[in-house]
Each structure stands twice: as C-alpha cells, then as structure tokens.
Amino acid sequence: MPRAVPSSGKALVRYLDLDDSERIAEIDRQLTGQLRPEYWRDQIFQCKAGRGISVGAEVDGRLVGYMMGSFRGGEFGLPQEVAWVEHLGVEPEWRGRGIGAMMAEAVFKRCRRRGIETAYTLVGVHDETIHTFFRALGFRQVPFTCLSRRL
Ligand SMILES: CC(C)(COP(=O)(O)OP(=O)(O)OC[C@H]1O[C@@H](n2cnc3c(N)ncnc32)[C@H](O)[C@@H]1OP(=O)(O)O)[C@@H](O)C(=O)NCCC(=O)NCCS
C-alpha cells in the first residue's frame, strides 16, 4: 500500500549530531552500497568542531536526508574561505519534495553567517540529477578542471 507522504513543509531541517551517524550511514548505504558509520561519525565530528556544516532533514522524527560541507580557505588558489558541499543524499521515497533545497538553504545560511560568500561542489559530468539540482540552487560552472591519475 502506498505510504502517505507529508509535504516538504512538514520536514524539519536541523544540525546533525554524533548520534545521527548510524542513520546517515543507512541512507548512504542505499546510495553507495557501503556501510561506514565511523566515517559519518567523523564527518559530523569535524563539523561540530567548526570545520564545516552538517544538516539533516527529519520527517515525523526520522532522518530522511543529509547535507554536509566543509569550510576551506587557501586551497586551489582560492584566496578566501569558501564552502565545499561534499555530501548529500535524500532517501529515494522522499525525493522531489523540496527537502534537498531546504537543507541547502540551511547550509548556505550558516555559511553566510560565517562570512563565506561562495560555495563549490564537484559533480560528475554524467550525473544529470545532481547537476540539475545544483543548477536549481544557483550553482554555475566555473573555469576549473578536475585532474586525476592512477597511482
Ligand atoms: C540530488 C538530491 C539530493 C535532490 O534532493 P531532493 O530533495 O529530491 O531535491 P528537491 O526536491 O529539493 O529539488 C530541488 C530542485 O532540484 C532539481 N531536481 C531534484 N531532483 C531532480 C531530478 N530527479 N531530476 C531533475 N531535477 C531534479 C529540481 O530543479 C528541483 O526543483 P523543482 O522541484 O522546483 O523542479 C536527491 O535526488 C539525491 O539524494 N540524489 C542522490 C544523491 C547521491 O547520489 N548522493 C551520493 C553522492 S554525493
């Protein structure tokens, strides 16, 4: 039987705590196939230590999405402190209800309060959903090239 889904207006966006790491790991496992609660615990720990921002979206008291980013300055020739959005995920059944956009607004608000003026992210060229999502949030391509080599 299809589940009644509340509108995004009923989703609550809040900062993540260390206790959320197992739930985030579950959502991440649906996206990546990897189960890594310690990794997420460390990511949230770094944010709580002031090196980034991590938020989650709750519906009826259950986390259904997360977004995390770090505050970085001085890398890649970027002079000022900027924000890098590095992780995001919304459980498949909750997508398309504005939850990702709500979490992004919370992240940007926190960054602006810190005086950060620019956010960056990396998106795979073939990942159209994530491209469209970030473009809808106002992100535009910038003249950087991502380079890699096998070691
Ligand atoms: C990308 C993602 C976070 C979007 O979350 P969401 O809550 O569904 O997004 P929203 O409902 O807030 O959508 C905001 C905007 O993004 C765009 N968008 C979102 N999903 C889209 C899709 N499937 N196709 C096209 N555009 C999309 C739309 O422009 C949308 O605005 P609109 O509804 O007014 O048209 C979600 O699809 C997801 O978790 N994807 C998997 C992420 C992933 O693979 N993470 C692991 C690597 S980091």
The SS3 assignment for 141 reads coil
**Ligand 1 closest atom vs CA 102:** 12
Q: What is the DSSP string of 8-75?
A: GGG-EEEE--GGGHHHHHHHHHHHHS---HHHHHHHHHHIIIIIEEEEEEEETTEEEEEEEEEEEESG
pLDDT score of 89 more than 70: yes
Mean pLDDT value across the chain: 93
Q: What is the pLDDT of residue 10?
A: 84
Atom 23 of ligand 1, residue of closest alpha carbon: 129
69 within ligand 1 shell (Cβ under 6 A): no
Domain ranges in the chain? 8-136
pLDDT at 47: 98
CA distances from 73 to 3, 85, 138, 149 (A): 44, 14, 21, 25
SS3 84: strand
* Best probe residue, ligand 1, of 97, 133, 135 (max atoms within 8 Å of C-beta): 133
Mean pLDDT of 53-68: 97
Q: What pLDDT, in 10s, does the model give residues 97-134?
A: 999 999 999 999 999 999 999 999 999 999 999 999 99
Per-residue pLDDT, 2 = 34
Task: Determine the residue type at 149.
Answer: R
- Sign, CA torsion 84/101/131/43: positive
Q: pTM of the full predicted structure? A: 0.93
pLDDT at residue 12 is higher than 80: yes
Strands 62-73 and 81-90, how do they pair?
antiparallel
Confidence tier at 1 by pLDDT (50, 70, 90): very low
Q: What is the model's pLDDT at position 83?
A: 98
CATH hierarchy code of domain 8-136: 3.40.630.30
Quick one: average pLDDT of 16-28? 98
pLDDT, one tens digit per residue, over 29-41 is: 999 999 999 999 9
**pLDDT surpasses 90 at 7:** no
Q: Are 57 and 64 in contact (CB under 8 A)?
A: yes
What is the Cα–Cα distance from 42 to 87, expressed in whole angstroms? 13
